[in-house]
Each structure stands twice: as C-alpha cells, then as structure tokens.
Amino acid sequence: MQPVAARQSETEPTAQPIIRVRGLVKRYGAVTAVDGVDLAVNSGEVFGILGPNGAGKTTTIEMIEGLRPPDGGSIEVAGVDVVRHPERIKHRIGVQLQKTALFEELTVRELLGLFATLYLTDARRSRIDGLLDRVSLTEKATARVSTLSGGQLQRLSLAIALVNDPDIVFLDEPTTGLDPAARRNLWDIIGSLKAEKRTVVLTTHYMEEAEALCDRVAIMDYGRVLACDAPRRLIAQLGPAATIWATLDGPALDEAALRSLPGVTSAQFVDGEVELQTEDPETALTALLQRVRQAGGQVERLTVTSATLEDVFLHYTGRRLRE
Amino acid sequence: MSGLGTMTLAFIRMTLRNRMALFWMLAFPAIFIVLFGFILGNDEGPDFEVGVVGAEQSPVSQGILEQMRQTASFTITLGTETDERQALEEGDRDAVLVFRQADSGRLSAQILYDQTDFQRSQVAMLAIQQFLERANAEMANAQPAIDITVEGVQSNALRFIDFLTPGILGMAIMQNGVIGMSMGLVGYRERGILRRIKATPFPLWKFLVAHVLSQLGIAVLQAIIFIGLAMTLFDLEVAGDVLSLLVMVISGCLAFISLGFIVSGMTRNVETASAVANIATFPMMFLSGVFFPVDTAPSWMQPLTKIMPLTYLVEALREIIIRGQSILTTWPNLLVMVATAVVGLAIGLRFFRWEPRAV
C-alpha cells in the first residue's frame, strides 16, 4: 500500500497522511511564533517547509517532533497523539536539529555508537560503520567531533537521525551554511531516503533546495502557512510570469515610463539595471525593446528568468525570501 | 551496556579528553601539592624558629616549654619580649610565644607571628596552638598541667604537606562539583545538546544522573591521584580507613554538584556560569581551611568560615586522613554535606530549565 500512497501524493495531497497537524499555535510571551498551522504530510514523500528566518519553521517542526509543547492545536504522527504522548514517537522518528551541537570530545564512531545505545538499537561496530559509510564519514571514524567541518558535522547529525532506522526523518535546515558541493552531497543522501520509502520533512530557506528535493512545499511566513502544494504547481499558479533584467545604454528612461509599457506589472532600477516584472514576457519584451529604440538608446544586456518558488514567495508575501 | 552506563562512561571519557577540565580538576591541584610539598620541606617536617617569652612564670608555661623543646619541629629561643619581637621583625623567628601571668594568677599566652611569611607562620601557629589547647584541656580537668606526655605531641606534629593534601583534595572536589556541573549543564543546554537528547527515548533525568555519576568517578580519581602523589613524594600516611574517606569524598562531591546545579539554573551561558561558579568557589578556597587553619582567620571572618560547606568537608577529610578518625566521629560533617546536597537540589530545581531561554 505504501508505494501506492507515495505515488498518489503527487496528484492527491490528502491521501493517507502519516503526519497531520491542525491549528498549531505557539506563543513566546507576546510573540506568536506559530499561528494556526495546518499540515498534512503523506507517507513516503519529501515535504518541505519553506520560509525566511523567523517564519516559525523550526518551532513548527520541533513541536511535531514532540520537543516543544504547543499552546494550541493537535499533532498526530504515525497514529500517535504527539501533544499528549511525545515519548511514544521518539523511537520511530529520526531528528536532525537546526543547531548541530554534539559532544565534541568523542570520536565520530563513539558518538554514533552512543546515540545507538540511547535509542536502544543495535550499536554494534559493523552497523555503526555502515551508517558512517552511508554519509561518507568512514575516513573520519576515529576523528574527534570537534575537528569536523560544517558539512561533515551535518552529515554526522544526519547519520544520528538515521541511527534508529526511522520511518519518518525530520531535517531542520540540513544545508544551511554549507558550500555548494557539500549541499549537493546532502541532497543525494536525502534523495536516497526517499528511495527507501522513508517520509522526510525538512525546513529550508533555500528555494532551489525546496524545488530540487521536495514533492510538496508549505510556504511559511510570520507563523502561518500561506500555500502548500507541489513546487511546480505553486509556480504554475502564477501563470507564465517572468522577470526581465536589462542594462540600458543611451537616454535614461524613468521608472514610470517603463511601468506603463504593455505587459509590465512593476518596474524598478536596481544598481543601474532595470528590473521588470511581467505576466506576459513576450509582450513586455517587445514593448521594452521598441521603447528603448524609440528613445534612441539600445539594450546592452538582457536576461529573462521564468518564475521560481522565489516568485511564489514574493507573490504571497510581497517580499523576497532572500532579503 | 545500559544507556546509563554508556552515557556515564562517555562523560568520563569526555572529561579526561578535555584539556581545560583536566588542568583545573587534576593538574592544578596536583601542582599545588607538589610545589608546596617541596617548598615547605617534607622528610623532617617544617623546622620552626620559635621564641618563647616569660615561660618561667608558672609551672604550666614551663611544662609547655619543656614539651615544645622535645619536639623536633621547634627550635626554641628564650628571651625578653623586646628582643624576641625584634628577632621576629628581622625574620629570625617564625613565631613568638609570650606568656603573661595576670595578678589574678591566670596565665595567658599570646602568639606573635610574621605576617610577611604568612603561610609558614600559620603552620607554626597551628602547631603552637595545639600545645596550648592541650594544656588548657589538662587544666580544665584539674590535672597538674605540667604532666603532658611527649608521645601525644609527636602524633599531632603536623607537617604542612599532611595538612595541605586533604585541603587540596577538598578544594578539587568543590571545583569538580560546582564548576563541572554548572558549566557542563549550561553548555549542554545552550548548545542544544539537551534538546537532541530529548529527541531520543533516553530520559533526560538519566542523562543528568549519568553526569553526576561521572563527576563522582572524577572525584574518586582526584582522591586517588592527590593522596597517591603525597604518599609517593612526601611519605604521607593515611591514618584513617578508606571507606570513611570514600563516604566523605562522595558526599562532598554531591554537595558541591548540588551547588553547581543551582548555578546552572541561574545562568544563561557558559561564560556567566563559569564566572558565577568561580565567584562562589573562590572565597571558600581561602576561608575554609584549605591552605591554613580556619581558626587563624580574623575573628570577623569566623562566622563566614562556619557557613562554608567546604570548611566541613576539609575538616572531615583532615580528621580521617591525618588523625585516623572514621565516619563514626565525622558524621556531623557528613550530615552537613548531605544537607547541602538536599537543600541545593531543592533550590536548584526551582530555577532549573531544560530549555535555553526562548527568543
């Protein structure tokens, strides 16, 4: 049944959720960090929570993991009421926290063995070394944790998240602060988790990460879920939207003139470069070229990018994710 | 192995691999013992230059003088108060003992000591005081005061290394307890390690128990190393039984872990925890008889020394190691340790947080 459910998730988001969150609320004093979040994660899918820092992603994921008690709402993971019985899901879920702080004086192998014991699972050397191999840390088995690089630490904490062979894996910003190569490496490992039919819930503020890894994405801002769907469907909802970047040479055109061009929804100068938002790239591009030529100038450099999750975020929040 | 055992061993392993912890808990106190042991002599015990004034006034003072003469540790010089004071000022004496007889016939004794060589004269004073106290005790029993046996005195003759080793052990147990617990726990909390443990099925209270067990292990290791060092290098003889010693080491460690637990509840980061733990332990280091006897402290300080738990731990360790007492006689000190542990735990629980302060 599981593979079927996983396949259905592409088209049928409500099928057989393994995680169901309703009306989740968390307050810190006067601040409402999570403000009525509803989520349903299907078995076997990679589910992303995308949002800027401070959107409430970590608070949400840690409440689902049973690490923080919510102030309101319900959480059900694999049939367990997490709000009431957080201890009952601990052996079934794998957890990677945002801050990767571990016992620095232990060696990589000792640390993984220790966590295997704490999870009451098989802590034999062969199994530990198998996990290290999986996250490409075999060479570092006898190195102290304090000597690991950022990417190695993230892979080690991922290995710890897998030490109890969990059905559901939670990864909180698994690639934040990593260089592109280290990020790719982690993406491959996360991809292999999906191949093993594990359910993966991850948070990220990298839209390309969400696009590359996730079957479905929830876009979060100010403690609320603004949209939740497959990345390409979220993008498709925006229509054939595009951004045009152009460097103009010759007589200056002001923003108002550019904004009045047919097909252009917004225009602004960024570092001397024109940035046009459009719902109809073809019309806008033609109009721009015409207008510039009429004014006696010419277009030096031209870039047209189609919509990404970044634009989806912009659409829902009026802000850029990267700001 | 069980989770608790594995976690405890992991903590001990981490402590032994942590250079800072190793230095403060093992190397630093050991250096104290070795340094003072060599500086203040070892084999013969310290030889004190003591001036005695007015001993001829009464049979009691003559008796005390006689007894002091028979002790190898003292080189006695008789003289007038003026001469002896001058000799003390010139550094030719470690201390001067002045007897005065009042009109009522009551004998009083005054000890003058060299403040510039504090450490040495403190020990001289301690030794002289022992004679006087003994004489006093004899008088209270209405016995002829002169009748003081030499043997009793020799058994009490204290070398500084004998005095120092239990003191240093007490100090190290205190630092291991207070600083080890507070900095460890605050670090684990603020760095998110407690939360990571919370995500496992291993209960957090067991995590804490494992930390405490590892600290008890370190305390026993401290006792073995410091006492072993003093035995090997300076022929320290442990007069008391190992079991009594173990009970005091462990109860003392628990008392100070408890205080460290309070600190961990009051502080938000390792830097503050370290500062508060040091502020808490520093006065105890000097006012609890680690380096010199509490009763030589100024009188206004006496009440302070009485409220410091370390005073009672060091006293008991000294009684057991040097004087061969057992837990049967030092039980009031054990009681103080247990009470400190319980009260500290109760206060600590009120302040304690598993989570770093939010936002």
Here the CATH number for the domain that contains residue B61 is 3.40.190
Rounded to 10 deg, the angle between the B28-39 and B160-190 helix axes is 160
**Cα(A111)–Cα(B13) distance, rounded to whole angstroms?**
12
Answer whether B4 touches A (CB < 8 Å): no
Query: Which of A24-28, A252-256, A262-266 shows the highest mean pLDDT?
Result: A24-28
Give one DSSP letter per residue of B214-254, joined into a string.
HHHHHHHHHHHHHHHHHHHHH-----S-HHHHHHHHHHHHH
Q: Nearest chain B Cα to A31, which residue?
A: B359
Domain co-membership, B110 together with B210: no
A110·B13 Cβ contact <8 A = yes
* Domain co-membership, B24 together with B105: no
- Both B254 and B214 in a single domain? yes
Which domain-ending residue is among B102, B122, B156? B156
Q: By a Cβ cutoff of 8 Å, what residues of chain A touch chain B?
A: 28-29, 31, 33, 62, 65-67, 87, 90-91, 93, 95, 97-99, 101-103, 105-106, 110, 114-115, 117-120, 144, 160
Say whether both B226 and B347 belong to one domain: yes
Mind listing the pLDDT tens digit for each residue in B73-85? 778 888 888 888 8
User: Is B22 in the same domain as B124?
Assistant: no
Domain end (from B123, B156, B189): B156
- CATH for A2-92+166-232, among 3.40.50.10800, 3.90.1580.10, 3.40.50.300, 3.10.580.20? 3.40.50.300
Cβ-based neighbours of B166, under 8 Å, separated by 6 or more? B314, B317, B318, B320, B321, B322
d(CA B147, CA B152): 12
Task: Please count the residue pairs, one from chain A and one from chain B, whose beta carbons lie less than 8 angstroms apart.
Answer: 66
Residue of B nearest to A86 (CA): B199
The structural domain count of chain B equals 2
DSSP structure string for B83-135: HHHHHHHTTS-SEEEEEEE-TTS-EEEEEEE-GGGHHHHHHHHHHHHHHHHHH
Nearest CA-CA partner of A214 in A200, A198, A227: A200
Q: Are residues B209 and B61 in the same domain?
A: no
Chain mean pLDDT for chain B: 84
Q: Which of B14, B199, B202 sits opposite A106 (nearest CB)?
A: B14
Evaluate whether residue B359 is within a structural domain.
Answer: no
H or E segment and range at residue B36:
helix B28-39
Using the 8-state DSSP alphabet, how is residue B357 labeled? P
Which residues constitute the domain of residue B278? Answer: 3-39+159-351
B201 touches chain A (CB under 8 A): yes
Q: SS3 of B258, please? A: helix
Same domain, residue pair B96 and B126: yes
Q: What band does B154 get if pLDDT is binned at 50, 70 and 90?
A: very low
CA distance A291 to chain B (A): 51
Do A118 and B202 count as a contact with CB atoms less than 8 A apart? yes
Provide the β-strand partners of residue A303.
A245
B200 in A contact zone (CB under 8 Å): yes
Cβ of B18 within 8 Å of Cβ of A105? The answer is yes
CA distance A278 to A267: 9
Specify whether B288 is located in the same domain as B205.
Answer: yes
The stretch A275-289 carries a mean pLDDT of: 86
Probe site for chain A from B198, B214, B269 (most A CB atoms < 10 A): B198
Distance CA A172, CA B227 (A): 50
One domain, residues B23 and B98: no
Distances in Å between the alpha carbon of A306 and those of A42, A302, A314, B121? 29, 13, 14, 87
CB contact under 8 A, B202 and A101: no
Nearest to B10 among A90, A106, A144 (CB): A106
pLDDT band, very low/low/confident/very high, at A172 (cuts 50, 70, 90): very high
> What pLDDT band is residue B62 in, cutting at 50, 70 and 90?
confident
- CA B311, B312, B316, B319: dihedral to nearest 10 degrees? 50
A91: chain B residues, CB-CB within 8 Å = 201
**Considering CB atoms only, which of B191, B200, B359 is closest to A31?**
B359
Which residue bears the tokens 């872990």?
A: B257
User: Which residue among A97, A115, A144 places its CB closest to the CB of B195?
Assistant: A97
With cut-offs at 50, 70 and 90, classify the pLDDT of residue B116: low
Q: Phi then psi for A202, rounded to 5 degrees?
A: -130, 150
Give a yes or no: residue B74 inside a domain: yes
Q: Output DSSP code: residue B23.
A: I
Q: Are residues B34 and B55 in the same domain?
A: no
- With a cut of 60, say whether residue A12 has pLDDT above it: no
Cβ distance of A101 and B193 shorter than 8 Å: yes
How far is residue B93's CA from residue B113's CA, in Å, rounded to a whole number?
A: 8
Asked if the model's pLDDT at residue B4 lies above 70, the reply is: yes
ipTM above 0.90, yes or no: no
Return the ∠ at Cα B38 (arms to B36 and B43), rounded to 5°.
Answer: 115
Q: In the prediction, which pLDDT does B358 show?
A: 54
B6–A105: do the CB atoms touch at under 8 Å?
Answer: no
* Tens-digit pLDDT profile for residues B174-227: 999 999 999 999 999 998 899 999 999 999 999 999 999 999 999 999 999 999
Of the three residues B104, B123, B156, the one that is the final residue of a domain is B156
Q: What is the CA radius of gyration of chain A?
A: 23
Q: How far is A80 from chain B (nearest CA, A)?
A: 15
Min Cα separation A222/chain B (Å): 15
Is B186 touching A (CB cutoff 8 A)? no
- Specify the fold of A240-306: Alpha-Beta Plaits (3.30.70)
Q: Do A105 and B196 touch (CB under 8 A)?
A: no
Alpha carbon distance B149, B64 (integer Å): 10
Burial readout A197-221 (b: 16 or more C-beta within 10 A, e: otherwise): ebbbbbbbbbbebbbbbbbbbbbbb
